[in-house]
Amino acid sequence: MNRLFKLISSILFLTFPVFYMTVSHASDDFRKRAPQVEETFTEDDDIRAEIVFGRELAARIIGKYGIYKNNDITQYVNMLGKGLSQYTNRPELEFRFAVLDTDSINAFAAPGGYIFITKGALKAIEDEAELAGVLAHEIAHVSERHIVKELDIKGKDESTVANIGRIIGGNTEFLRGVFTQMVDEAADILFEKGFKKQDEIDADRIATLIITTAGYDPSALSRYLKKISSDEKEGKTIGSTHPLFSERIEKIDTLLVDNNLAGKKYEIVKERFHENVRLR
């Protein structure tokens, strides 16, 4: 009976992510404050280019860290992440999530919906709301096409460099070299340079909007950043490729105050997180 209940629950989560989470929704006033997307990225060739490029970058991420092989945790992270992705402006993408086998505290997003969180980050997380905040931050990088815009990735363009559709369809050594160079640039953003400061701030803002609309504690991402900020000087965390934690936390906390969300009680879902995330 217990196994059947778990199976039914999993199906409900995948089909009705908000129903499964059994958490309250944000206020109608807050929903009205959520930014309205003026346009949707619907050019088929551009979407295909984004996905193909992201898949190659995702392979680069996996090659660097390796995948943490735990089916239960992977399934849990995917169910939660896919539920959160329903609140984005990218219905044309299928988001995929995986855990990286490293104790460093970090998370990565590749174009096309490839999201990664490290085992170290999971160890630092205390509840499902915090996990939702971290995943939503990476989802926001994809939904806002930060790498796509930075590298001008397109499926149709007169420029050979930007025309991924032409590059991936070509078989010359030159075109393969161009594609590899672009992936190298994207990897450098993820592993070394980091996203632009404003991109990170925007991802924090959008992530906070997503988790609040989903019914989670609006301060979850801020709580998580405050907790890991003590390791920033020791180089144990994402500080080397992100703006200062203090600035990010200040921006999130201001957002909460401005939207009358500071101190409000929402769900953190601690028990289910610890039931599903049991790290070796």
Tens of pLDDT, residue by residue over 122-161, are 999 999 999 999 999 999 999 999 999 999 888 765 544 4
Tokens 């991936």 sit on residue: 168
Angle between helices 44-65 and 173-188 (to 10 degrees): 70
pLDDT of residue 242: 55
Determine the longest span between alpha carbons in the chain, in angstroms: 60
Total-model pTM: 0.80
Per-residue b or e along 50-72, where b marks 16 or more CB atoms closer than 10 Å to that residue's CB: bbbbbbbbbebbeeebeebebee
- Rounded Cα distance between 11 and 5, Å, is 10
From 160-169, 206-215, 264-273, the region with the lowest mean pLDDT: 160-169
φ/ψ bin of 187: left (φ > 0), alpha (ψ from -120 to 50), beta (otherwise): alpha
Q: Which of 141-155, 172-186, 198-212 has the lowest mean pLDDT?
A: 172-186
